[in-house]
Amino acid sequence: MAWGRLYASAFEKVRTRIREIGRVLLAYNTNIDAIHYLDGKDLEERVMRVGLEDVLKYSEELPERVESLPQLLGSILWSVKRGKAAELFVESCSTRFYMKRWGWDELRMGGQVGIMANLLGGVYRVPVIAHVPQLSRLQTGLFKEGPIYVPTVMDGEVKLIHPKEFAGEEESCIHFIYEFPRGFSVLDFEAPRENRFIGAADDYNTTLFIRDEFRENFEEIAESASLAVISGLQALTKENYREPFEIIGEHLEVLNELGIPVHLEFAFTPDEAVRRAILDLLGKFWSVGLNEVELASIMEVMGEKGLAQKLLAHDPVDPIAVTEAMLKLAEKTGIRRIHFHTYGYYLALTDYKGEFVRDALLFAALAAAAKAKLGDVPSINEIIKAMDIPVNERAKPVEDSLMREYKMEKGISEVGGYQLSFIPTKIVAKPKSTVGIGDTISSSAFIGEFALRS
């Protein structure tokens, strides 16, 4: 298969048409990621000052949320000791203040909306309207230049302005990310691998707060958009999801009435009740994007435990199991497009046909490889720099298996009345950055598809 040629032509086609898709509405989660690279000596001194015994308790067992300094430092040690990631909500004001004073090495745009706004608006120059729960100076400063807008109400009228033009000062929703390398040592602990502990000092994104401007003027805001991407449901819990889900349901109804296709960017959602509620809502979306862990977690709440296990049993992930799972999900919910991504390949199941589905996946894979290679991609033209990264060899047996099972040709086949599109991705051996790479993949493929339809 001449994937190189398909990659080049897909990129060119999307690049020339991407500005024609109109505005993209992005809701709901935007925050600030404050990265702090841990220093062993500093951390040890802090532990001693707060009280070794109190701290060590929490390095054995994580608290449910962070309400004190021993819990904060203990949770960091919990991650270091195991080389495992963990994320907890930070409840106490004094602990939040301590984290602020402890400081950070780097600030990054966080939240799927923030990341996609900077990619679509700042890099692709596609106009976006973003929901930003809190517009603090720190937050607005992280938006790139370009056609990125937030709605604001002036003299009773909705105006779209760049976040940097927002005159008020609101709270900062900061996710403190305490990173450590492999071998990092503190007290008697040594990290078996690199990872991070995240303390979320954020009352807004964690409960899916929706701004009044959005709630009161949603129809007017939505009317000016051609596409929408929804994300940020992952932190909700069985105690607090009902109210935001009601509003999301209303928003989806408005978008559906206006004929605006909506993509859901699924992210790992630990709470089972919330996952079930998402499953119930899925039929109102045009499209969903997810990885193997996320697809398996949905199969679990659908009662498909065996299939869920199969999805996590092989490396690379068994594409026949993925296809079976996607078919079950499409049939149960009626969703029109499912985009699955994993390390090495992507698959899309659509209830419509055409090479443009596959070509949009190719564009997304090139964008992801460019991001991994360059860190930050300054403009869409730079994405072509990823062309020299070879197509991943690990995807060959995956492609063979799809050809055998579904008679796939040039990455396209028909399965159970749906089109199945496949592409092998380009993998960057020493990536500069993989933060938000899943969001890059899903949003690029979704809007790329509509660029190719236009």
In order of 4, 8, 252, the CA distances from 389 in angstroms are 10, 12, 39
Q: Which is nearer to ligand ADP, 292 or 304 (CB)?
A: 292
Query: Which residues neighbour 309 within 8 Å (Cβ) at sequence distance 6 or greater?
Result: 296
Task: Please identify which residue in the block is written with the tokens 């959602």.
Answer: 269
Mapped onto helix, strand or coil, the DSSP state of residue 116 is helix
Kindly state the smallest distance separating residue 31's Cβ from ligand ADP, in Å. Answer: 15
Q: Which is nearer to ligand ADP, 16 or 434 (CB)?
A: 434
- Rounded (10°) CA dihedral 271, 274, 280, 285: -100
204, 139 Cβ separation under 8 angstroms: no
Please report whether residue 87 would count as binding ligand ADP according to CB under 6 A.
Answer: no
Please report whether residue 437 would count as binding ligand ADP according to CB under 6 A.
Answer: yes
Kindly state the smallest distance separating residue 265's Cβ from ligand ADP, in Å. Answer: 9
**Whose CB is nearest to ligand ADP?**
438
Query: Cα separation of 235 and 102, whole Å?
Result: 25
Please report whether residue 71 would count as binding ligand ADP according to CB under 6 A.
Answer: no
Query: Cα separation of 225 and 210, whole Å?
Result: 18
Residues 285-314 interacting with ligand ADP (rule: CB under 6 A):
291
Interface residue with ligand ADP among 372, 391, 395, 412 (CB under 6 A) is 372
Please report whether residue 21 would count as binding ligand ADP according to CB under 6 A.
Answer: no
Query: Which residues neighbour 271 within 8 Å (Cβ) at sequence distance 6 or greater?
Result: 236, 237, 238, 241
What are the backbone angles phi and psi of residue 432, rounded to the nearest 5°? -75, -40
Give ∠ CA 254-256-259 in degrees, rounded to 5: 115
Please report whether residue 341 would count as binding ligand ADP according to CB under 6 A.
Answer: yes
Tell me whether residue 39 is one of the annotated catalytic residues. Answer: no
Size of the site for ligand ADP (CB under 6 A): 16
Kindly state the smallest distance separating residue 435's Cβ from ligand ADP, in Å. Answer: 7
Select which of 33, 202, 359, 439 is catalytic: 439
Kindly state the smallest distance separating residue 292's Cβ from ligand ADP, in Å. Answer: 8
Please report whether residue 438 would count as binding ligand ADP according to CB under 6 A.
Answer: yes
Q: Which is nearer to ligand ADP, 90 or 361 (CB)?
A: 361
- What is the strand order of the sheet 412-415 is part of? 157-161, 148-154, 128-130, 24-27, 227-230, 262-265, 287-290, 337-342, 345-350, 418-424, 412-415
Please report whether residue 342 would count as binding ligand ADP according to CB under 6 A.
Answer: yes
Please report whether residue 368 would count as binding ligand ADP according to CB under 6 A.
Answer: yes
Give the active site residues: 439
Residues at the interface with ligand ADP (CB under 6 A):
291, 341-343, 368-369, 372, 425, 427-428, 431, 434, 436-439
